[in-house]
Amino acid sequence: MSVTDVAAFLGAYPFRPGVEGSPDALLRHMDRLGIERAWVGSLPSILHQDPAPANRVLVASARPHRDRLLPVPTVNPEQAAWQDDVNHALDEAVPAVRMYPGYQGIADAGPEMRVAVVAAAAAGLPVVLTVRLEDSRQRHPLDTAAGPSAAGVRTLVRLDDQVRLLVSHADRAFVEEVHFGLTPAEAGRVLWDIAWVRGPPDDHFAHLVRAIGSERLVLGTGLPLRLGETAFVRLELSDLSEREQARILERNLDDWLRGSGTP
Amino acid sequence: MLIDVHSHFYTEESGRPDWLRLNERRLAVASRIGITAQVASILGTWGRRSPTYFPSPDDVRHANHAMAALCRAHPRAVYGYCVVNPNDTDGALGEIERAGAEGMIGLKLAASRRADDRLVDSVVEAATRRGWPILHHVWQHRRREWPGQEASDARELACLADRHPDGHFILAHLGGGGDWSHSLRVMRSVENVWVDLSGSGVDIDMVHAALDEVGPARLVWGTDLTIDTAVARLRYLDALGLSDHDRDGIQWRNAWDLFVGMAHHVGH
> What's the pLDDT tens digit per position in A2-47?
999 999 999 999 999 999 999 999 999 999 999 999 999 999 999 9
Nearest CA in chain B to A26: B204
**Distance separating alpha carbons of residues B11 and B17, to the nearest angstrom:** 10
The 10s digit of each residue's pLDDT in B74-116 is 999 999 999 999 999 999 999 999 999 999 999 999 999 999 9
Residue A263 has pLDDT above 50, yes or no: no
Q: Please tell me the distance from the alpha carbon of residue A27 to that of residue A224, in angstroms, as a whole number.
A: 10
What's the pLDDT band for B240 if we cut at 50, 70, 90? Answer: very high
Alpha carbon of A36 to those of A32, A71, B119: distances in Å?
A: 10, 14, 56
Contact yes or no for B19/B48 (Cβ under 8 A): no
Q: For residue B263, what pLDDT is reported?
A: 84
- Asked whether the beta carbons of residue A137 and residue B178 sit closer than 8 angstroms, the reply is yes
A225 CB near a chain B CB, below 8 Å? yes
Q: What is the pLDDT of residues A175-211, one digit of tens each?
A: 999 999 999 999 999 999 999 999 999 999 999 999 9
Q: Is the previous residue joined to A53 through a cis bond, with omega within 30 degrees of 0?
A: no
Q: What is the mean pLDDT of residues B245-264?
A: 95
Query: Does any CB of chain B come closer than 8 Å to the CB of residue A117?
Result: no
Question: What is the model's pLDDT at position B267?
Answer: 61
Q: Across the interface, do B205 and A19 touch by the CB < 8 Å criterion?
A: yes
Using the 8-state DSSP alphabet, how is residue B199 labeled?
Answer: S
Mean pLDDT for the stretch of residues B144-160: 96
What value does the CA radius of gyration of chain B take, rounded to a whole number of Å?
Answer: 17
Helices and strands (H and E) in chain B: how many = 11, 8
Task: Please give the pLDDT value at position B107.
Answer: 98
Q: Is the pLDDT of residue A237 over 90?
A: yes
Q: What's the confidence (pLDDT) of residue A218? A: 98
Record: contact B26-A135, CB cut-off 8 A:
no
What is the ipTM, given to two decimal places? 0.95
Q: Tell which residue, B120, B121, B95, has the closest CA to residue B41.
A: B95
Distance from CA of A170 to the nearest CA of B (A): 14
Give the number of other CB atoms < 10 A from CB of residue A205: 22
At residue A260 the predicted structure's pLDDT band, cuts being 50, 70 and 90, is low
Nearest CA in chain B to A232: B232
- B268, pLDDT greater than 70: no
* A223 interaction partners in chain B (CB closer than 8 Å): 204
Q: How many CB pairs under 8 A join A and B?
A: 86
Classify residue B238 by its DSSP letter.
H
Residue B226 has pLDDT above 60, yes or no: yes
Secondary structure element (H or E) that encloses residue A38, with its range: strand A37-42
List of chain A residues whose C-beta atoms are within 8 Å of the C-beta of residue B231: 229, 233, 237
What is the Cα B210 distance to its own chain's centre?
17
Q: What is the pTM of this model?
A: 0.96
Tell me the pLDDT of chain A averaged across its residues.
96
Q: Which residues pair with B78 in a beta bridge?
A: B38
Would you give the distance in Å from CA A88 to the centre of its chain? 19
Best B35, B38, B184, B204 residue to mutate vs chain A (most A CBs within 10 Å): B204
Q: B134 and B67 in contact (C-beta within 8 Å)?
A: no
A227/B228 Cβ within 8 A: no
Instruction: Judge: B204–A230 Cβ closer than 8 Å, yes or no.
Output: no
**Euclidean distance between CA atoms B233 and B255, whole angstroms:** 17
Mark yes or no for CB contact B236/A138 under 8 Å.
no
Quote the pLDDT of residue B258.
98
| Distance from the A96 Cα atom to the nearest Cα atom in chain B, whole angstroms | 25
CA distances from residue A172 to A145, A168, A192, B18 in whole angstroms, order as listed: 21, 12, 10, 17
Test the B interface: residue of A134, A233, A239, A240 with most B CBs within 10 Å: A233
Residue among B236, B230, B161, B239 nearest B197 (CA): B230
Where in chain B does DSSP place strands (E)?
A: 3-8, 37-41, 78-83, 106-109, 134-136, 169-171, 193-196, 219-220
Query: With an 8 Å Cβ cutoff, is A28 touching chain B?
Result: no
3-class DSSP assignment, residue A52: helix
Provide the shortest C-alpha distance from residue B248 to chain A (in Å).
Answer: 20
pLDDT tens track for B168-193: 999 999 999 899 999 999 999 999 99
A198 to chain B: nearest residue by CA?
Answer: B226
Reply yes or no on whether the pLDDT at A85 is more than 60: yes
What mean pLDDT is predicted for residues A138-155? 97
> Residue A214 and residue B38: Cα distance in Å, rounded?
32
Compute φ and ψ for B177, nearest 5 degrees: 110, 140
CA distances from B174 to B123, B193, B230 (A): 24, 12, 11
